[in-house]
Structure 1
Amino acid sequence: MRNSPDDTAPLNSPPACGRGRGRAVTAAAPADNPSPNPSREREGNEPVRKCILSGERDVRPHLVRLALSPDGQILPDVRAKAPGRGAWIGVTRIELEAAIKKGKLKGALSRAFKTGEFTIDPELPAKIEAALERNALDRLGLESRSGTVLIGSDRIEQNARQGKLKTLYHASDAAEDGNRKLDQAWRIGNDVEGSGLRGLALPVSRTILALALGRENVVHIGLTDRAAAKRVSEALDRWLHFIGSEPSGPIQSNTLMGSRASVSCETASQGASASQNIGASGSTGQRPAVDMTEEFE
């Protein structure tokens, strides 16, 4: 017996709204009817935060948190683990670089942190990109170790034709005929032949994916567990949006259906998150705990 449509619907589905990336952006409350506490706004089970540069509101897994270290450095905190006050951004790398050049980021951070005593590293965009990539690959590695990741064309194709596949990814150097074969199997399994449903080509090679998953020759990746697919989709979506590598066409991103789950990567390799960088700064100063009522928390 086939599962219900809600259980079988693939996560790589056409975008419903937002800035062309398949993510739902919560609009700010009208001026004549303001939200009593913007920091308490939620979309499903997710708290909503405002990008300090664009002013748009979105759920936390779609944004990047910037943290202020004890020594006055602005650092990426992609896992939102660093203590103290933070600020959220949802722009692309190109937009961030322009904001740094024009001084817009400096002004926005001064308002968010209520101080101008900080330094913005010119390499901040590169650090954010590296942290987001590490976070996404760490998530794939975690799911692989927990047994929720499928690799191998034959195994993925079988699950795809049976309608079990929730999401599908291809390495950047995967052969086009192999991609088309699995994409077609996925459409058949979901009874959407003739649609634009297809796997997402990632901007990393099979070698990088193999290292991330601890496997050999990882060319294609499939997930059948819906919760795992959502976790991977969110981590990849945030990274791809920042680097401007979102695919065009019917499948623009991994739209999450239903409530969104926050990304949690509890691994030993915490990437370039600010919680690790701040801890390595050597400072003994302790910043105050995060105030959950702050919009810039």
Structure 2
Amino acid sequence: MPEHETPERKCILSAEHGARDDLIRLALGPDGDVLPDLGAKAPGRGAWVTPDRRLIEAAVAKGKLRGALLRAFKGATIKVPDDLVQRIEAGLQRRALDRLGLELRTGNLMLGSDRILDKIRAGRVHLLLHAADASADGRGKLDQKLRVSEMGESVVLPVGRSELSVALGRENVVHAALCDRAAATRVAAAVSRWRAFCGTNDDGADGEHGSAAER
């Protein structure tokens, strides 16, 4: 496979192919428990599913997920936890917020609407993030300036300012931004999979200027 090509995997539920990093890997624990392997690092055979909560919940309710997993794991004895969907969502949230925390500690994540606005005006912002409960006025002001700058992407996170503030160890975090392109790409990847699972990737919150990875 050429180096520039992204490895693909097939969803065991929809049979559709997607980029490996966009899907969710399920793996077997030591006792046969089916567990989310969000870093795709667990040993042994894995099963891949589309990051779509409704798809997975429907498959669980109809018994389709268990059948698909039995085929994927070649008839191994498996146990599907009742809270598998909740574990996936919690894991995706943790990975995205941990990534934000890491970028903050390394100086790549910028907080504060005034500082962010200055960087947007300078054409420096590659990714703009809003807490789910950010005011319409606050979001609108920053998003409008981002559109004028003709670069970057605006995303609303699936959590409010309280959870975001706790995750970052700061008070009243409502808006955040990344000016480093590589950091923006890393955060965008983690956030996109999380939002896709929660069903918010198509809510019209994203900017109109392409993904951070494209800039």
SS at structure 1 position matched to 2:94: helix
- CA gap 1:63/1:73 in 2 versus in 1, 3 angstroms: same
Q: CA RMSD in A?
A: 2.3
- CA gap 1:128/1:103 in 2 versus in 1, 3 angstroms: same
Q: Percent identity?
A: 50
2:211 matched residue in structure 1? 255
Cα distance, 1:91 vs. partner?
4.2
- CA gap 1:113/1:245 in 2 versus in 1, 3 angstroms: same
2:67 matched residue in structure 1? 107
How far apart are the structure 2 equivalents of 1:173 and 1:106?
Answer: 37
- CA gap 1:188/1:258 in 2 versus in 1, 3 angstroms: closer
- CA gap 1:97/1:135 in 2 versus in 1, 3 angstroms: same
How far apart are the structure 2 equivalents of 1:225 and 1:150?
Answer: 10
* Residues 1:141 and 2:119 are matched in the alignment: no
Cα distance, 1:258 vs. partner?
4.7
Structure with greater contact order relative to length (CA < 8 Å, sep ≥ 6): 1
1:63 matched residue in structure 2? 23
Q: 1 or 2, which has the higher helix percentage?
A: 2
Of structures 1 and 2, the larger Rg is shown by: 1
Question: Do the aligned residues in 1 keep the contact of 2:129 with 2:177 (CA within 8 Å)?
Answer: yes
1:221 matched residue in structure 2? 176
Question: Do the aligned residues in 2 keep the contact of 1:53 with 1:91 (CA within 8 Å)?
Answer: no
**2:14 aligned partner, one-letter code:** S
How far apart are the structure 1 equivalents of 2:111 and 2:203?
Answer: 25
Alignment partner for residue 231 of structure 1, among 186, 195, 199?
186
* Residues 1:125 and 2:85 are matched in the alignment: yes
- CA gap 1:100/1:43 in 2 versus in 1, 3 angstroms: farther
1:205 matched residue in structure 2? 160
Question: Do the aligned residues in 2 keep the contact of 1:145 with 1:213 (CA within 8 Å)?
Answer: no
* Residues 1:242 and 2:197 are matched in the alignment: yes
* Residues 1:173 and 2:133 are matched in the alignment: yes
How far apart are the structure 1 equivalents of 2:19 and 2:64?
Answer: 23
- CA gap 1:250/1:48 in 2 versus in 1, 3 angstroms: same
- CA gap 1:256/1:180 in 2 versus in 1, 3 angstroms: closer
How far apart are the structure 1 equivalents of 2:214 and 2:154?
Answer: 20
1:54 matched residue in structure 2? 14
1:14-33 mapped onto 2 (5 Å cutoff): none
How far apart are the structure 1 equivalents of 2:142 and 2:207?
Answer: 18
The TM-score normalised by the length of structure 2 is 0.91
How far apart are the structure 1 equivalents of 2:146 and 2:195?
Answer: 22
Cα distance, 1:255 vs. partner?
3.4
SS at structure 2 position matched to 1:215: coil
- CA gap 1:252/1:153 in 2 versus in 1, 3 angstroms: closer
Question: For residues 43-77 of structure 1, what are the alpha-carbon distances to aligned partners after superposition, in whole Å with 9 as ceiling and x for unaligned?
Answer: 83532111111111111221111011121100011
Query: What runs of 5+ residues in structure 2 fail to find an aligned partner?
Result: none
**2:44 aligned partner, one-letter code:** G
Question: For residues 216-239 of structure 1, what are the alpha-carbon distances to aligned partners after superposition, in whole Å with 9 as ceiling and x for unaligned?
Answer: 221101111111111111111111
- CA gap 1:235/1:107 in 2 versus in 1, 3 angstroms: same
Question: Do the aligned residues in 1 keep the contact of 2:109 with 2:177 (CA within 8 Å)?
Answer: yes
**2:109 aligned partner, one-letter code:** V
How far apart are the structure 2 equivalents of 1:256 and 1:117?
Answer: 42
How far apart are the structure 1 equivalents of 2:159 and 2:203?
Answer: 18
